[in-house]
Structure 1
Amino acid sequence: MKYTRIAALAALGVAASLSLTACGGTDSGKDSSSKGSSSSSSSSSENGSKAESGSDSGSSQSKADDTNSGSGQDAEANAGAANGATEVSSKVEFCKTQDLAIDARDAAPDEVSGRIDITMINRGSATCSATGFAGVDIKDTDNTSNPIERGQAQPRITTLKPGEAAVFNLAYDIDNTGDSLTRPTNILVTPPNETHTVSLEWPAGAGAIKGAYTDVQVYPTHTTK
C-alpha cells in the first residue's frame, strides 16, 4: 500500500509539472506575438514617418519651383520695365526755339476771314517734334501783350526732320469798318513745349481784328506736306 501511494504521488507530481510547462509555453507565445506586433507597429510608424518626410520634401521642392518661377517672372517684368525706359528715352525730343526758323505771313482766304500762318522750319541737325499748341501773345501799340486762346482742335503728331517745316495759324474775323479797337504790332511765339519766345512783326496787309484780342484763336501745328 505504501508503494502504491508513493507511485500515485509521483504521478501527480509529473502531471503538475507537465501542466506548468504547458502554461509557460502559452505565455511565451503571447510574449512573442506581442513583441512581433510591437515590432510591426514600430516599422509601420517609421515607414509612415519616412513617407511623410518624402511628402514634405516634395512640398519643399514644389515651393522651390514656385519661388524660381516667381523669380523668372520678376526678371521678365524688370526686363520689360528696362525696355520701356529705353523706349521712352529713345523718343524724339521736342524742337528747341533756337533750332527753328520762324516767320509769319498773311494767309486770309477772303476779306472776311482773317488768318495768319506761322511757319517753323527745323534748322537743327536732328529730327524733333513740334507737336501741340504754340504759346501766342499779340503785342499792341500801347506795349501791352494779350494771350491768345486755343481753338477747338486736336493736336496732330508733327515730327520734323532737318529742313522740314511745321505750320500753325491764327484765326479771327476781319473788321472792315475801320473802327477796330486793336492795333497789333508783334506776335510773340513760344513753340510747343518750349519756354523761349521769339517776336515776329504783325504781317503787313493783314486785316484788322474784329472785336478784341480774345476773339483770336490759335490752332495746333501740322506739317506742310
Structure 2
Amino acid sequence: MKHTRVTALAAVSLAAALSLTACSGDGSGRGSSAKGASTPPSDASASSSSPSDGGSDSGGSTANNTKPDSSGQDAQAGTGTGGTKGASKAGAKVTFCKTANLAIDAVDAAPDKTSGRINITMINRGSTTCSATGFAGVDIKDADHTSNPIERGPAQPRITILKPGDTAIFDLAYTIDATGNSLSSPTDILVTPPNETHTVSLSWPAAAGQIKGAYTDVQVYPTHTTK
C-alpha cells in the first residue's frame, strides 16, 4: 500500500516537473518573441538614418554643384582681372608722343605739277619710345587770319611707334591750281599730333603750289614711319 502511494506521489511530482518545464519553455518563447519585437525599432532606427545619409549625400551634391560655379566665377574674375592688368601694362609701355618731345617740320613734296603734297615730319626727340599712331589734327591759317580745319583722307591709320630719334611722317594732299586764280592764301599749318592737345604752328612751304578750290578740298592722311 505504501508502495502504491509512493509511486503515485512520484507520478504527481514528475507531472508537476514536466508542467514547470513546459511553462519555462513558454516563458523563454515569450522572451524570444520580445527580443524579436525589439528588432523592428532597430530597423526603424536604421531606416531613419537612411534619410539622414541621403540628406548628407544631397548636401554633398549641392556642395559639389556650388564649388564648380564658385571656382568658375573666380577663374573668370581672375581672367578679367589679369586682362585688365595686362592692358594697363601694355598702355604703360608705350604712351603717345608728346608735342613737346617732337621736332615737327613741313616741306613741299609735290610729285608733279598737278598733285599738291606737303609732307609733315615728326622726329622723336624724347628719351623714351612713344606712339604717333593715327591722324594728326590740322588747320590751315589763311592770310585773312582765319583757320580752316582739314578733313581726313580715306585711309586707315597704321601703327607708328617711334624710338628716340625715329621719324613719323604724314601728308596733306590737294590739287594744284595752275591758273593763278586760287582763292586761298595759306600762311601757316597748325599741327596737333595724334592724341595730343598741344599745337605747333608751321609756315606754309614757299615752294608749294596754290590750292585749287577751297580748304575743304585738302585732305590729311594718317601717320606712318619712314622705314
Pairwise same-fold verdict (TM > 0.5) = yes
Change (3 A) 1:185 1:79: closer
Change (3 A) 1:63 1:100: same
Separation (CA, whole Å) in 1 of partners of 2:87 and 2:62? 34
Pick the aligned partner of 1:114 from 110, 113, 116: 116
Separation (CA, whole Å) in 1 of partners of 2:222 and 2:87? 28
Map of 1:4 onto structure 2: none
- 1:113-132 equivalent positions in 2, closer than 5 A: 113-132=115-134
Change (3 A) 1:67 1:96: same
Map of 1:223 onto structure 2: 225
Map of 1:97 onto structure 2: 99
Separation (CA, whole Å) in 2 of partners of 1:218 and 1:210? 16
What is the CA deviation profile of residues 90-119 of structure 1, one whole-angstrom value per residue up to 9, with x for unaligned ones? 330000000000000000000000000000
2:129 aligned partner, one-letter code: T
2:164 aligned partner, one-letter code: P
SS in 2 for 1:162: coil
Is 2:38 the counterpart of 1:42? no
Tell me the percent identity. Answer: 64
What is the CA deviation profile of residues 24-70 of structure 1, one whole-angstrom value per residue up to 9, with x for unaligned ones? 85475245324324235415624762784487179449827963871
Map of 2:159 onto structure 1: 157
2:82 aligned partner, one-letter code: G
1:138 aligned partner, one-letter code: I
Question: How many residues in Structure 1 have an aligned counterpart in Structure 2?
Answer: 219
Is 2:67 the counterpart of 1:67? yes
> How far did residue 210 of structure 1 move?
0.4
Which is further off, 44-53 or 191-200? 44-53
Pick the aligned partner of 1:210 from 183, 197, 212: 212
- 1:184-203 equivalent positions in 2, closer than 5 A: 184-203=186-205
Separation (CA, whole Å) in 2 of partners of 1:192 and 1:82? 24
Pick the aligned partner of 1:176 from 171, 175, 178: 178
Change (3 A) 1:39 1:76: same
> How far did residue 15 of structure 1 move?
8.2
Separation (CA, whole Å) in 2 of partners of 1:18 and 1:139? 139
Change (3 A) 1:72 1:132: closer
Change (3 A) 1:96 1:80: same
2:192 aligned partner, one-letter code: T
SS in 2 for 1:194: coil
> How far did residue 18 of structure 1 move?
7.3
SS in 2 for 1:208: coil
Map of 1:33 onto structure 2: 33
